[in-house]
């Protein structure tokens, strides 16, 4: 996947051992012979590595001693989709070829979910739909589908524009022109063959367009709900008023009893006098 890291395998059978002062290892592209990386005994310079692969291609010294000359490639780009050649030579054997492997790297990137524009009518007899998807790889296939029966529309009705953007990924714009009918239910499908991925988004026209995405309250039911709400609030207010009244009555009786009780327990004063 674009942006990920990948390992290109190039290894001898298990149990192999190599002296790094004896082996020469080269990784390059098969067709253009672009230098990806290399190992030369007693030479740590990588000046001959192509700028596209500089600081992105790496072999493990520990792995090479065990016969594993695999290439670790970082931050994969669409330009990395090609064949890579791994070549290992032994100096002690008169620069005899010890290992030669060709690895084919396939690169892919997910397309964005297609966006289908609202259909417009360039004429009274025609409808036009536009489908857009970006940042995918490799080059996609574009289909328009009659979602009523899932049949493919004639590709002669569509005009596709596919181009590479600045990231080296594909953007696609497809324009569909069909005869106007009272109701149209179509879908745009972007197919990524390498990923076995199909992204489909639909668009529908007709007298009820937009009703499936919009919910409108029934005014009669809204009025009924309002009346019920006010009724409930009225009952609650009444219950609160009754509770408050009962509270005041109970409080008054309690105060009266408390007042009488004080005098009931108060001792009568003794009357004393002198004859």
By DSSP bridging, strand 83-90 and strand 23-29 are: antiparallel
Is 145 in the same domain as 75?
A: no
Q: What is the predicted pLDDT for the residue at 58? A: 95
Verify that 70 and 122 share a domain, yes or no: no
For residue 217, what are the contacts with CB-CB under 8 A and spacing of at least 6?
none
Backbone angles phi, psi at 52, to 5 degrees: -65, -25
pLDDT digits (tens, 9 = 90+) for 181-191: 878 889 999 99
> Is 36 a residue whose pLDDT tops 60?
yes
Domain assignment of residue 196, yes or no: yes
Using 50, 70 and 90 to split pLDDT, how confident is the model at 65?
Answer: very high
What pLDDT, on the 0 to 100 scale, is given for residue 93? 93
The last residue of a domain, from among 149, 182, 202: 202
The model's pLDDT over 129-173, given as tens digits with 9 standing for 90+, comes to: 999 999 999 999 999 999 989 999 999 999 999 999 999 999 999
Rounded to the nearest integer, the mean pLDDT of the chain is 81
Helix (H, G, I), strand (E, B), or coil: what is residue 256? helix
Q: Where are the alpha helices (DSSP H) in 58-173?
A: 61-65
Q: What is the pLDDT of residue 202?
A: 87
Least trusted range by pLDDT, from 113-127, 181-195, 257-271: 257-271
Residues 127-136 pLDDT 10s? 999 999 999 9
Residue 45 confidence (pLDDT): 82
Q: Is residue 61 part of a domain?
A: yes
- For residues 91-115, average pLDDT: 96
Q: Does the residue 150 lie in any domain?
A: yes
pLDDT of 196-239, one tens digit each? 999 999 887 654 333 333 222 333 333 444 454 555 566 566 66
Please tell me whether residues 51 and 99 are part of one structural domain.
Answer: yes
pLDDT at 120: 77
Residues 83 and 121 in one domain: no
77 CB contacts (<8 Å, ≥6 apart)? 2, 107, 168
Greater pLDDT, 35 or 261: 35
Q: What is the pLDDT of residue 125?
A: 83
Residue 251 confidence class, pLDDT cut points 50, 70, 90: low
Would you give the distance in Å from CA 247 to the centre of its chain? 62
CA distances from 212 to 120, 208, 216 (A): 19, 8, 11
Question: Does 198 reside within a domain?
Answer: yes
Q: How far apart are CA 184 and CA 212, in angstroms?
A: 15
Do 38 and 124 reside in the same domain of the chain? no
- Cα–Cα distances (Å) from 83 to 33, 116, 146, 217, in that order, read 10, 37, 40, 63
123 with 181, same domain: the answer is: yes
Same domain, 98 and 137: no
User: Are 17 and 101 members of one domain?
Assistant: yes
Cα distance between residue 209 and residue 185, in whole Å: 11
148 in any annotated domain: yes
- Let me know if residue 275 belongs to a domain: no
Examine the domain organization and report whether 62 and 120 are in the same domain.
no
Show the domain range for 191: 115-202
| Interatomic CA distance for residues 69 and 97, integer angstroms | 14
Judgement on whether residues 145 and 82 belong to the same structural domain of the protein: no
Say if 119 falls within a structural domain: yes
CATH code of 193's domain: 2.60.40.10
Number of H helices, E strands in the chain: 2, 16
Query: Of 202, 226, 254, at which residue does a domain stop?
Result: 202
Q: Are residues 81 and 152 in the same domain?
A: no
Residues 19 and 87 in one domain: yes
Number of folded domains that form the chain: 2
Is 134 a domain residue? yes
Question: Last residue of a domain, which of 105, 128, 146?
Answer: 105
Q: Which of 189, 123, 181 has its CA nearest to residue 155?
A: 189
**pLDDT confidence of residue 74:** 97
């Amino acid at each position: 996947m674009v942006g990920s890291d990948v390992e290109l395998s190039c290894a001898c059978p298990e149990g192999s051992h190599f002296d790094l002062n004896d082996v020469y290892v080269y990784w390059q592209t098969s067709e253009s012979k672009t230098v990806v990386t290399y190992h030369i005994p007693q030479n740590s310079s990588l000046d001959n590595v192509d700028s596209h692969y500089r600081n992105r291609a790496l072999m493990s010294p520990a792995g090479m001693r065990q016969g594993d000359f695999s290439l670790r490639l970082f931050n994969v780009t669409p330009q990395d989709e090609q064949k890579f050649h791994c070549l290992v030579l032994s100096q002690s054997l008169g620069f005899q070829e010890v290992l030669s492997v060709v690895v084919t790297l396939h690169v892919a990137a997910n397309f964005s979910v297609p966006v289908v524009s609202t259909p417009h009518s360039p004429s009274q007899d025609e409808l036009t739909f536009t489908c857009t998807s970006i940042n995918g790889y490799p080059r996609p296939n574009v289909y328009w589908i009659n979602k009523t029966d899932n049949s493919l529309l004639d590709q002669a009705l569509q005009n596709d524009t596919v181009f590479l953007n600045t990231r080296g990924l594909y953007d696609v714009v497809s324009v569909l022109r069909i005869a106007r009918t009272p109701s149209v239910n179509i879908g745009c499908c972007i197919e990524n063959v390498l990923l076995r991925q199909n992204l489909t988004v639909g668009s529908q026209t007709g007298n009820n367009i937009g009703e499936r995405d919009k919910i409108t309250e029934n005014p009669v039911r809204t009025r009924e709900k309002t009346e019920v709400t006010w009724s409930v609030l009225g009952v609650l207010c009444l219950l609160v008023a009754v509770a408050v009244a009962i509270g005041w009555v109970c409080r008054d009786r309690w105060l009266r009893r408390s007042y009488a009780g004080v005098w009931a327990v108060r001792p009568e004063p003794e009357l004393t006098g002198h004859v």
